[in-house]
A and B are shown apart, each in its own frame.
Chain A
Amino acid sequence: MIASSIIPAPLARLPWRVILLVLAIGGFGLTVLYSAAGGSLSPWALSQGVRLFFFIGLAVTMSWLSEAQIKAATFPAYAIILLMLILVEALGFVGGGARRWLDLGFIRLQPSELMKLAIVLTVARFYDMLPAGELRGWTAVWIPLALIGIPAALVLVQPDLGTTLMIVAGGVTIMFLAGLPLRLFLGAGAAIAAALPIALATMHDYQRKRVLIFLDPESDPLGAGYHISQSKIAIGSGGIFGKGFLKGTQSHLDYLPEGHTDFVFATMAEEWGLVGGVLLILAFMLVIFWGMSVAARAKTRFAKLTAAGLSTTIFFYVAINLMMVMGLAPVVGIPLPLVSFGGSAIMTVMLCLGILMALERHQRSGSRFA
């Protein structure tokens, strides 16, 4: 913390370390978007910059929320988002083969995005309310599973495999941290491994192709494997120090698809090389560990579970996206938060950070004034 008599106390007490990290990541993202547009602020860098600062402001504002307020808002927020998911099913229009957006007139909202956050809060709140002695009972298992399963199923039929995975992963992480018996997770893991072939068989054709092609993208370099092939070419051809700012060929000559959204990391790596990539990964890891340290220092069970869960949500974003662009995972449409162009991911991540900041402020105020 910056402690100085010149800086007013409320400002000094902001978690500057993480704010600076977020600004660094976001700022670096803006230069990448600037380059991806061929050295132009429009159409991406400028509007993304405005979003970045708006949501950082929102996060900082949220840091004044109290734990009680967050707890109180949890179940209603979950219910509202669940309702919106159903509305998307009912009213959402078909776009790109998947129904994901809810057009509220002034904003096109993606409720599934918010559900990534809401599921963490909700499941954490459930275990917070659950008496310690009940943890071995079935109630401790089936209620959270239902809480996770209903929105996950709604998102899956949109269909949005990536978001579904993140909702399930976020919820299950909380169940794990809450202290459910290990054998449940081992058993479930084994069951999933066994059910995977069946799941693949029931998928849409385009989904199955996208899921399996990452294992051998060169087998169809112009079709399903095109994204991964081109992304690996961009990253691999960047080398250690990259081709230089504004000098990427894969992105500037349009060989890399989605170079400003899902595959923005490849755009970055082509120009900034391994050095840029490792620094970016490190910066994300520092943000996530800050979140985990908030969890470690948290006093209440809700704060512990929420902080660890939200950190893990950010982690899932980063990890799934990077594994995808490096050819370690299927292309599931998860953007790189703070860097990829687009409002939804940055909103979710900044809401996560806002709640984390609020929990962190609560710890400090707790230690000082309690």
Chain B
Amino acid sequence: MKRTRPTMTEANQALVFSRRALFVGGAQASVGVLLAGRMSWLAIAENERYSGLAEDNRVEIILIPPRRGWIIDRAGLPLAINRSDFRVDLIPQQVKEPERIVAQLAQLLKLPLDEVDRVNRELDGARGFKPIAVAENIPYEQYAAVTVRISELAGVNASRGFSRSYPEGAAVGHLIGFVGTPSATDYEKEKNPLLITPGFKIGKEGLEKVLEQRLRGTPGAQRVEVTARGKLVRELTARPDRSGASVQLTINAGLQAYAARRLGNESGSVVLLDCLTGDMLAMASMPAYDPNSFSDGIGRGEWKMLSDDQRRPLNNKVLGALYPPGSTIKPMVAMALQANGVKPHETIFCPGGFRLGNRIFKCLGRHGTVNMTRAIAKSCNTYFYAMGRRVGYDAIAEVAKLLGLGAKFDLPVVSQSYGTVPDSEWKLRRYKQQWTQADTLNASIGQGYLIVNPLQLAVMAARISSGLSVEPRLVMGQGPQPKALNMPAEHFETVRKAMSQVVNGDGTAGRSRLPLEGIEMGGKTGTAQVRRIAAGQRGQSGAWKYRDHGLFVCFAPVASPRYAASVVIDHGLGGSRAAAPVARDVLTYLFDKEKAMAALLELEAGWGGDIHQRMAAQAAAWRRARGGTANT
């Protein structure tokens, strides 16, 4: 060590101590000031924030779920209502002996084992006042059995609640949709604590889903002071709940149910519009699910049964199924032909087909010399091949769009498939190919690229029959007043007359005249190929799923059109055979209920009961077929 250090002596040791003690004291004082400063920051600057947090801790809000608004038909009849039911919940905070209580409830309510497991699991992770649902929608006897023992069941809360009820059952399934317990994703999206309140349900499908915010209402709230362990100290304030608004539909409940029942065992749909206003009076798609059983929570078995059914009971075919419209678009094509200079009296000779180059496009018969009216009445393809080729398909596509094909309507529905109205530009875009004459011929008779949904067909029928640009609507009092379409009245007159001939003349739907005095129906049949079939063998036989679809568009009365409809029967072989009789009965219902019901009851006797009875029988058969696994 080169540097000389001062030797430590007792004296300068004392000096060092004094200096360092002063330093330590100073450091201590600084920390004291720092602490006082920190506390001032928390208590003054952050006071508001922490006061809020303390309040959040102290006050718990117990939500009282609102009653859901009703859905009623145009006359005020109920389509979706709330039925009072009984439920049993557990308040975790007040449950002292969970094992005994749950065991006793399981016995009283006859809970299945997996439900008992669920309750135990939820009870383990729960605390405080948020109730855990034990059972919903229980019969009065079980509710009473719990209530009389309530004194020995600490923490059990048996109460009256409300569950959604659909008086028309499956007949309104696709129209109304159903409600269900909110999923974790629903909650993530909304972050609304109401969604995790036991027993609360939200719309899951159909109108229930789309009109959710209108139907839901405002929850009531009870503010209570609680301890950290969830013990209630006292009630602070309470705010009553406000029920959701009721929604009135344009639907006619009786007609809707009738249409659904009339479809019988077929897979198909009926849409009926007021052709002056666009009000949808019926929108039935069958087979359907029963929204009542969905709203109570559907079993896995029932779900599987529905999703495996080739008649697609989970699909609303009015909006979700697309069909080649077949000959049902001939009235529309006739409008387009007239708009492009084809005179109704001009004729075409039908030798049973039309030659284009070296290809023959077939007609269903040899119709001889046909004019426009005759061509529609007899559904002569040759006329439309020839005339379609003359005006060109792009001109027809324009009118098709004007009359509602390819349109997506402004409706409160979860989804609609709106199909394709092809034209040369579309084909170039889609397939990078030129539009050919063959394409024109196919499209002119409603085959080929053209696909539509049943609602578009009904709108087309409504616009042709009224001459108004009606927009379909489902909720009363919404939407603009329809304006007249910019086409000459005599064009409509010609087409309507021809459509009347289809039914009331010697046309293709002669067997489906209305059984009514002085009221006539006009219509057009259609048969749509499901797959391209080799010449000579149409889809008139063989496996159900390869058979042709039967379609029918119509309006009534012919004298002054008021209603327009489309009926589509999947794989029904033909429009006149499968679809037109359904349309006849549904329209009859509007003018003479008794007559229509008599016809229906006779048919139902042959089918094996009404919708409910047949669905029950189907479910039973399905369960039998699955044998012992039915109850799992």
Q: Which 8 A-B pairs have the closest CB atoms?
A: A236-B50, A237-B54, A179-B16, A254-B228, A274-B43, A253-B227, A236-B42, A237-B50
Q: Note all chain A residues with C-beta closer than 8 A to B43.
A: 235-236, 238-240, 269, 273-274, 277
- Cα–Cα, bound, A236→B39 (Å): 8
- Cα–Cα, bound, A125→B49 (Å): 51
> Quick check: A236 and B38 within 8 Å, CB to CB?
no
> Quick check: B10 and A277 within 8 Å, CB to CB?
no
> Quick check: A274 and B7 within 8 Å, CB to CB?
no
- Cα–Cα, bound, A323→B5 (Å): 40
> Quick check: B51 and A177 within 8 Å, CB to CB?
no
Chain B 25-37 per-residue mask, 1 if CB under 8 angstroms from chain A, else 0? 1001101100110
- Which of B42, B57, B58 touches A235 (beta carbons < 8 Å)? B42
> Quick check: B51 and A239 within 8 Å, CB to CB?
yes
Q: Is A338 an interface residue (CB 8 A)?
A: no
Q: Is A295 an interface residue (CB 8 A)?
A: yes
Most buried by A among B24, B35, B58: B35
Given A278-B39, A319-B35, answer yes or no on A312-B54 (Cβ-Cβ < 8 Å). Answer: no
Given A133-B8, A136-B8, A326-B35, answer yes or no on A235-B227 (Cβ-Cβ < 8 Å). Answer: no
Q: Is B151 an interface residue (CB 8 A)?
A: no
Q: Is A75 an interface residue (CB 8 A)?
A: no
Q: Is A184 an interface residue (CB 8 A)?
A: no
Q: Is B225 an interface residue (CB 8 A)?
A: yes
- Cα–Cα, bound, A235→B46 (Å): 10
Q: Is the interface of B mostly helix, strand, loop or mixed?
A: helix
- Cα–Cα, bound, A246→B313 (Å): 65
- Which of B7, B32, B47, B227 touches A285 (beta carbons < 8 Å)? B32
Minimal beta-carbon separation of A57 from chain B (angstroms): 28
Interface residues on A, range: 35 or more
Chain A 211-252 per-residue mask, 1 if CB under 8 angstroms from chain B, else 0? 000000000000000000010111111111000000001100
- Cα–Cα, bound, A312→B24 (Å): 8
Minimal beta-carbon separation of B39 from chain A (angstroms): 5
Q: Is A255 an interface residue (CB 8 A)?
A: yes
Q: Note all chain A residues with C-beta closer than 8 A to B10.
A: 132, 301
Minimal beta-carbon separation of B403 from chain A (angstroms): 62
Q: Note all chain A residues with C-beta closer than 8 A to B32.
A: 281-282, 284-285, 319
Q: List 20 A-B contacts (CB under 8 A).
A: A132-B8, A135-B8, A176-B20, A178-B13, A230-B57, A232-B50, A234-B50, A236-B53, A236-B54, A237-B47, A237-B54, A240-B44, A254-B228, A255-B228, A269-B39, A274-B40, A281-B35, A301-B10, A304-B17, A312-B24
Q: Is A289 an interface residue (CB 8 A)?
A: yes
Q: Note all chain B residues with C-beta closer than 8 A to A250.
A: 54, 57
- Cα–Cα, bound, A358→B539 (Å): 114
* Chain B residues engaging chain A, CB cutoff 8 angstroms: 5, 7-10, 13-14, 16-18, 20-21, 24-25, 28-29, 31-32, 35-36, 38-40, 42-44, 46-47, 49-51, 53-55, 57-58, 225-229, 233
> Quick check: A274 and B39 within 8 Å, CB to CB?
yes
Given A253-B228, A285-B28, answer yes or no on A232-B21 (Cβ-Cβ < 8 Å). Answer: no
Q: Note all chain B residues with C-beta closer than 8 A to A150.
A: none
Minimal beta-carbon separation of B434 from chain A (angstroms): 64
Given A179-B16, A319-B31, answer yes or no on A253-B226 (Cβ-Cβ < 8 Å). Answer: yes
Given A179-B8, A236-B42, A253-B226, answer yes or no on A292-B35 (Cβ-Cβ < 8 Å). Answer: no
Q: Note all chain B residues with C-beta closer than 8 A to A236.
A: 42-43, 46-47, 49-51, 53-54
Given A253-B227, A281-B35, answer yes or no on A274-B54 (Cβ-Cβ < 8 Å). Answer: no
Besides the contacts A319-B35, A326-B39, what 20 more A-B pairs have beta carbons closer than 8 Å?
Answer: A177-B21, A178-B17, A179-B20, A232-B50, A233-B54, A236-B42, A238-B43, A239-B47, A254-B227, A255-B54, A274-B40, A277-B36, A281-B35, A284-B32, A292-B24, A304-B21, A305-B17, A312-B28, A322-B35, A326-B38
> Quick check: B28 and A315 within 8 Å, CB to CB?
yes
List the B residue with the shortest CB-CB distance to A176.
Answer: B20
- Which of A136, A239, A253, A301 touches B58 (beta carbons < 8 Å)? A253
Q: Note all chain B residues with C-beta closer than 8 A to A289.
A: 25, 28-29
> Quick check: B58 and A249 within 8 Å, CB to CB?
yes
- Cα–Cα, bound, A52→B51 (Å): 33
- Cα–Cα, bound, A292→B18 (Å): 11
Minimal beta-carbon separation of B530 from chain A (angstroms): 59
- Cα–Cα, bound, A281→B40 (Å): 12
- Cα–Cα, bound, A233→B58 (Å): 12
Q: Note all chain B residues with C-beta closer than 8 A to A319.
A: 28, 31-32, 35
List the B residue with the shortest CB-CB distance to A254.
Answer: B228
CB within 8 Å of B: which A317-362 residues = 319, 322-323, 326, 328
Q: Note all chain B residues with C-beta closer than 8 A to A232.
A: 42, 46, 50
> Quick check: B20 and A274 within 8 Å, CB to CB?
no
Minimal beta-carbon separation of B93 from chain A (angstroms): 13
- Cα–Cα, bound, A123→B429 (Å): 92
Q: Note all chain B residues with C-beta closer than 8 A to A284.
A: 32
Q: Note all chain A residues with C-beta closer than 8 A to B24.
A: 173, 176-177, 292, 308, 312
